[in-house]
């Protein structure tokens, strides 16, 4: 789902759900155009911080794993994403994991849900793409493409906004649907490369 950036991001995946409600707690920053009306206190979170060297983060609830760079942390927010009605661009979605660093405004948000009975993986991807395609604001430039995450075909969407770049990947695996969405400041190639590395390291529990 990304444009000219997709080719060099294919190692990862996801759709682009962005939520500042969780990010305000996880990052302690304000991202313009990606805010949520939910108060940070409404979401409980468990924080896991990487060791001095990079370490592996494993999520039992989402059945995925990825490398956590040195100095970066993961906040695991409460709840379970069970229905598309819970999803809205820029809003808080239950059950998200948020990767962030105190010294950076960049982030990665990931989540998953069981694909509803009777819905095909292709239909799930199409519905999430429909919901997420509006972007954080109507002034952002949007482009889409395809790539891969952990060997699975992914839809990639890129939103280039004046103050932030968002790249989201959505993918399905073993009857679950996933999104992995990164955000970074325009021109911040260091953070972008770091987050691309995290997405490239994604693996699923049954692999």
What is the number of residues in the chain? 207
The full set of domain ranges for the chain reads: 6-30+44-204
Query: What pLDDT is attached to residue 14?
Result: 38
Q: Which residues contact 124 (CB under 8 A, 6 or more apart)?
A: 115, 116, 172, 177
Query: What pLDDT is attached to residue 89?
Result: 75
Query: What pLDDT is attached to residue 43?
Result: 53
Token pair of 126, please? 């199409």
Give the predicted TM-score (pTM) of the model. 0.77
* Per-run averaged pLDDT (10 residues), the chain, 207 residues: 38 38 36 36 58 78 96 96 89 94 94 97 95 77 94 94 94 97 96 97 92
Query: What pLDDT is attached to residue 48?
Result: 62
Query: What pLDDT is attached to residue 8?
Result: 38
Query: What pLDDT is attached to residue 54?
Result: 67
Backbone angles phi, psi at 35, to 5 degrees: -85, 165
The CATH superfamily label for domain 6-30+44-204 reads Mog1/PsbP, alpha/beta/alpha sandwich (3.40.1000.10)
Contact 143, 129 (CB under 8 A): no
Token pair of 66, please? 């990825």
Structural Rg of the chain based on CA atoms: 15
Place of tokens 């100095």: 71
For the beta carbon of residue 78, count every other beta carbon within 10 angstroms: 12
Question: In the beta sheet, which residues pair with residue 203?
Answer: 65
Query: What pLDDT is attached to residue 25?
Result: 36
Burial class (CB in 10 A: 0-12, 13-18, 19+), 68: buried
């Amino acid at each position: 789902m990304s444009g000219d950036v997709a080719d060099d991001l294919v190692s990862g995946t996801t759709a682009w759900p962005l939520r500042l409600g969780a990010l305000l707690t996880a990052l302690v920053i304000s991202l313009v155009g990606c805010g949520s009306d939910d108060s940070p206190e409404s979401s409980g979170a468990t924080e896991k911080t990487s060791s001095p060297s990079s370490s592996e983060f494993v999520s039992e609830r989402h059945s995925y794993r990825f490398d956590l760079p040195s100095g970066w942390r993961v906040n695991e927010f409460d709840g379970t994403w069970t229905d598309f009605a819970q999803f809205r661009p820029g809003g808080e979605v239950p059950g998200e994991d948020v990767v962030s660093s105190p010294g950076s405004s960049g982030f990665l948000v990931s989540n998953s849900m069981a694909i509803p009975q009777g819905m095909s993986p292709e239909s799930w991807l199409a519905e999430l793409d429909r919901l997420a395609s509006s972007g954080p604001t109507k002034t952002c430039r949007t482009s889409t493409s395809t790539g891969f995450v952990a060997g699975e075909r992914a839809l990639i969407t890129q939103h280039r906004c004046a103050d932030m770049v968002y790249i989201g990947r959505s993918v399905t695996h073993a009857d679950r649907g996933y999104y992995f969405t990164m955000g970074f400041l325009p021109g911040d190639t260091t953070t972008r490369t770091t987050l691309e590395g995290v997405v490239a390291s994604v693996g699923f529990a049954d692999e």
